[in-house]
Structure 1
């Protein structure tokens, strides 16, 4: 039987990124969808994050010239999701917390050849794509801030495009933009700017004085 990672089909993912880069994101997403959380009671529990991840489909992975500055490149990753009843608030529209979870949904990989992926989210996945495509190594940090603006509601059955692009990749600060579009109703649902910081290497502790 083939390893799970060998069963990942990248042919349905659009974009000019290499098949290896697409494979990395797809296999990470797949591993999250099939994960389970252990409970003391022994009752099967898929897990909060795995449930959310199961709603996402990866549709595009690209590295493109920036429209405003063609000499600069940007990573672009697009996911799709369809709003269902489990995502709704009391008013019958997409819950803001659910939407935030989609934007900052974490997927991870432990494949030995993926030193590039540690932990990434929908909004920060283009950071990996740009780094892996240009330097062969993606760098991730920890979230410093996630600023979301909610523009319009989404209803059951609405199809969403979660479009993520890089803004800046500094030595310490990494920033991305995420736009969630309702392609059923042709309107913007939410936009966000996500800032990550690359943590400093831990300092060696001083020896205790005798």
Structure 2
């Protein structure tokens, strides 16, 4: 596994998003990479799948672009790269669909954040409502994947993005997805329990 990135350098990330927004994305990735707890079954520190896999994602682009179909509207675009390794494989020695779903879930959230932060000063990561994935072709050990995510819509409560995972090594589409998220409601004050 790749080591956790200790220093954040937004200058290595392409795209026209501000350095502050790029830093926020890199800090969010870093926070996911550091997730760990003590395993109840073994009593030893355990990072977990998300931390292990996220530590291998490399943010390469963060941009705000005019929509092709509606140039007066904007979309967020975020691109990550990752190399498939043996920890990501299923029993058939292909990249496990669940591992790929987790990568899509995390990566497709990022353009939603950068578009909100760039256009109205408030980025939102939201919580997932649905993640619809179509798996097109397998990815093998050593394959370099390019995960391209763009926003579809950002409303006051509903947020959506699309994602394509391209196999750079084999020049084919691995998966495509639509991710719908929502802004969670503020917790309501709880009423005292009745006896």
Is this a same-fold pair by TM over 0.5? Answer: yes
* Deviation digits for residues 143-168 of structure 1 (CA, Å, limit 9, x no counterpart): 11110000011111110011110000
Bigger shift: residues 161-170 or 45-54: 45-54
TM-aligned CA deviation for residue 207 of structure 1: 7.2
In 2, Cα distance between the equivalents of 1:53 and 1:37? 16
TM-aligned CA deviation for residue 187 of structure 1: 0.7
Query: Equivalences for 1:19-168 in 2 at 5 Å?
Result: 19-40=19-40, 41-104=42-105, 121-168=106-153
In 2, Cα distance between the equivalents of 1:37 and 1:140? 23
* Cα gap change, 1:125 to 1:92, in 2 (>3 Å): same
* Deviation digits for residues 29-51 of structure 1 (CA, Å, limit 9, x no counterpart): 12322332123444122222211
Aligned partners of 1:5 and 1:27 also within 8 Å: no
Aligned partners of 2:75 and 2:150 also within 8 Å: yes
Bigger shift: residues 196-205 or 58-67: 196-205
In 2, Cα distance between the equivalents of 1:170 and 1:149? 25
- Aligned residue for 1:74, secondary structure, equals strand
Q: CA RMSD in A?
A: 2.2
- Aligned residue for 1:11, secondary structure, equals helix
In 2, Cα distance between the equivalents of 1:171 and 1:16? 25
- Counterpart selection for 1:186 from 138, 155, 171: 171
Aligned partners of 1:165 and 1:178 also within 8 Å: yes
In 2, Cα distance between the equivalents of 1:122 and 1:38? 27
Q: Which runs of 5+ in 2 are unaligned?
A: none
Q: Which runs of 5+ in 1 are unaligned?
A: 105-120
In 1, Cα distance between the equivalents of 2:5 and 2:88? 29
User: Which has the larger helix fraction?
Assistant: 2
**Equivalent residue pairs, number:** 191
In 2, Cα distance between the equivalents of 1:82 and 1:205? 46
TM-aligned CA deviation for residue 90 of structure 1: 1.4
* Cα gap change, 1:153 to 1:208, in 2 (>3 Å): closer
* Deviation digits for residues 84-116 of structure 1 (CA, Å, limit 9, x no counterpart): 111111111111111111111xxxxxxxxxxxx
TM-aligned CA deviation for residue 205 of structure 1: 4.8
Aligned partners of 1:34 and 1:50 also within 8 Å: yes
In 2, Cα distance between the equivalents of 1:153 and 1:209? 55
